Structure 1
């Protein structure tokens, strides 16, 4: 006898399922508002500036607009931006006690740390005039506290610090000179002028003369190295630190570093300060050494003895940035990056030329 299976009541009776509709809002037609704009239509977009002159003009106009806006805002607040806030009116160069001094009205320019009067040799009138011009374009005393607005003053003070350190009788004398020598010699092993690209392949770019990047780098390096090994460090051989497909820089032959180190330690205060600035600007020790050697009025200067063309700031800047310029010509430059860096390198190398050069009759 079979026992009937009993089904629970809740399973036997179907349950009502709640169904939620997907759309609950009422569709409405779009209500387009009429265009009621006033005035002429906006100007069409203009292409980006294609050269440095156009970019410079655009930045000048932008600066004028910002200045006008500040003046309007200051006038509304009861202030005046046009009033000069610096405490001096005129900047002059004077000869005082056998040295050149920059005067802010009647006050001599002083070292920001030691408060000593900045005294320049009589043989450096161009440096004194450039230093005076740097302070003449400042609009407030507050700007004088910003190092990027007085770069030449900082460089001159660096040379004066080295001069004072060399003349001191302390046991740790020439400490600054030794630190600078150790710093700049490190760049000899990674010199931007001695790092050459691998040999060009069939698809690599060449210039109008048919030269590859390696050919251009090699030509620039050999010219500078030949000058140095002939007139500055005769008898030594300087080799490229990166050549071919190598990725690990190699050091110079034995004895080269010792000769160059002795030359750096023998520079006067103005020359070694200029060498430090040039090396840090161009990342090239050999290019910086040639600038100092050709332009210096001191004992290491070769410009008065050799009837050769000066290694100009423009030539040095191009030599230290060959690869960057080569890539920018092929792929284009980044606005406000490559152009700003190029101008900054030229500014720093130009300050080195002002620092080490002179009339050749150095008296202090």
Structure 2
């Protein structure tokens, strides 16, 4: 049997002659709108505004809300003060309350003024007064405060290092009139560096039969670390034993591979201790700062002797033999002979060696400013 498929077409889908395939379109035009002209004059009225919150809130409720906001602010301030480094006056310290910084002469002394307010000691609140013979120190102190951008920065010691050093000298002078405990502690501290002074610790001598040793390595100038250390130490020690401590013999405390420091000869420590104890407040503060910065009591002692206007300074007795004065660069290089040797050979570590180098020069420079002057104090 054969099956046949039949296409079924719905009679509704079949085109007929009576069904029109076109759509009627209206051709009647719409009626135009009548536009009424505006006859208003003047500016348009302001938009409506919502009523003020105070007008819709009971005065008692508004007062309680204000009290709640004040209590919340006080709570946040107390919470900030309890946190490490927090301060309830932090918002007030974010601004600089002074405009100009000047140096004025008051009662035969030099004062740094923040506008009309004199600079004061952060602890005792006494006015910081400098000798009239130290104008460089006064202007450097004023420049330090003029560089600050907010009062909050004045609470950070690393941003006002010179102010901290000046206050240290003032504390020593004030304590000398009482017990003198600060002076005794400083003398004890700096004398400890005599046993481990940077200038008295020498590397091992080079071994010509073993050039592989670190002590046998030479720099670009063909010199060993030991020879450079000896040259720097001999020059500084020779100056001190000739002009500051005549007749005193200072020997190395560490030599070569030894790890136990050697004591100086009898009498050497007593002579140096007597000289340190006799320094005035400015000289003692400068000696402490330079010793801690360079890890060398000998280098700090030469700074004080070369630059001080007080009794410990050489003044006119300083030999004028054509040598360059022992300044910041010379003291910094003497305190970092081994570091410079290693960095010249292996390179510097960025943001480490360069930062330490500048910080060392900053601290040694502040020591020179403390003791230097016009010489009228003597």
TM-score bracket, normalised by the shorter chain, equals: 0.7 to 0.9
Q: Where does structure 2 lack aligned partners over 5 or more consecutive residues?
A: 1-93
In structure 2, the partner of 1:4 is none
In structure 2, the partner of 1:216 is 228
State the alpha-carbon separation in 2 of the partners of residues 221 and 285 from structure 1. 12
Stretch moving more, 200-209 or 84-93: 200-209
SS of equivalent residue, structure 1 residue 250 = coil
In structure 2, the partner of 1:286 is 298
SS of equivalent residue, structure 1 residue 148 = helix
Are residues 1:127 and 2:142 paired? no
Q: What's the offset of the Cα at 1:332?
A: 1.4
Deviations 1:173-232, CA, capped at 9 Å, x for gaps: 111000000000000100011100001132332124322000000000000000000000
Match of 2:335 among 320, 323, 329: 320
State the alpha-carbon separation in 2 of the partners of residues 86 and 244 from structure 1. 55
Match of 2:350 among 326, 335, 343: 335
Deviations 1:127-182, CA, capped at 9 Å, x for gaps: 000000000010000000000000000000000000111123xxxx1110000000
Deviations 1:57-80, CA, capped at 9 Å, x for gaps: xxxxxxxxxxxxxxxxxxxxxxxx
In structure 2, the partner of 1:140 is 150
Q: Where does structure 1 lack aligned partners over 5 or more consecutive residues?
A: 1-83
In structure 1, the partner of 2:25 is none
Q: Is the 8 A contact 1:124 1:359 kept in 2?
A: yes
In structure 1, the partner of 2:197 is 191
State the alpha-carbon separation in 1 of the partners of residues 146 and 243 from structure 2. 40
Q: Which has the larger radius of gyration?
A: 2
SS of equivalent residue, structure 1 residue 92 = strand
Q: What's the offset of the Cα at 1:331?
A: 1.4
State the alpha-carbon separation in 2 of the partners of residues 229 and 329 from structure 1. 31
Q: Is the 8 A contact 1:278 1:348 kept in 2?
A: yes
Superposed counterparts of 1:142-291, under 5 Å: 142-168=152-178, 173-201=179-207, 202-203=211-212, 204-291=216-303
State the alpha-carbon separation in 1 of the partners of residues 125 and 310 from structure 2. 27
Q: What's the offset of the Cα at 1:252?
A: 1.0
Deviations 1:1-47, CA, capped at 9 Å, x for gaps: xxxxxxxxxxxxxxxxxxxxxxxxxxxxxxxxxxxxxxxxxxxxxxx
Q: How many residue pairs end up in the alignment?
A: 278
Q: Is the 8 A contact 1:195 1:243 kept in 2?
A: yes
SS of equivalent residue, structure 1 residue 103 = strand
Superposed counterparts of 1:56-135, under 5 Å: 85-135=95-145
SS of equivalent residue, structure 1 residue 239 = coil
Q: Is the 8 A contact 1:229 1:237 kept in 2?
A: yes
Q: Is the 8 A contact 2:172 2:183 kept in 1?
A: yes
State the alpha-carbon separation in 2 of the partners of residues 274 and 90 from structure 1. 28
Q: Note the aligned Cα RMSD (angstroms).
A: 1.6
Q: Is the 8 A contact 1:188 1:284 kept in 2?
A: yes
Q: Is the 8 A contact 1:295 1:310 kept in 2?
A: no
SS of equivalent residue, structure 1 residue 352 = helix
State the alpha-carbon separation in 2 of the partners of residues 313 and 194 from structure 1. 20
State the alpha-carbon separation in 1 of the partners of residues 310 and 148 from structure 2. 32
Q: What's the offset of the Cα at 1:303?
A: 3.9
Q: Is the 8 A contact 1:225 1:238 kept in 2?
A: yes
Higher relative contact order (CA 8 A, sep 6+): 1
Return the TM-score normalized by structure 2.
0.72
In structure 2, the partner of 1:24 is none
Q: Is the 8 A contact 1:123 1:360 kept in 2?
A: yes
SS of equivalent residue, structure 2 residue 235 = helix
SS of equivalent residue, structure 1 residue 100 = strand
Q: Is the 8 A contact 2:219 2:345 kept in 1?
A: no
In structure 1, the partner of 2:38 is none
Deviations 1:251-298, CA, capped at 9 Å, x for gaps: 111100000000000000000000000000000010010001101000
In structure 1, the partner of 2:326 is 311
Deviations 1:94-137, CA, capped at 9 Å, x for gaps: 00001000000000000000000000000000000000000001
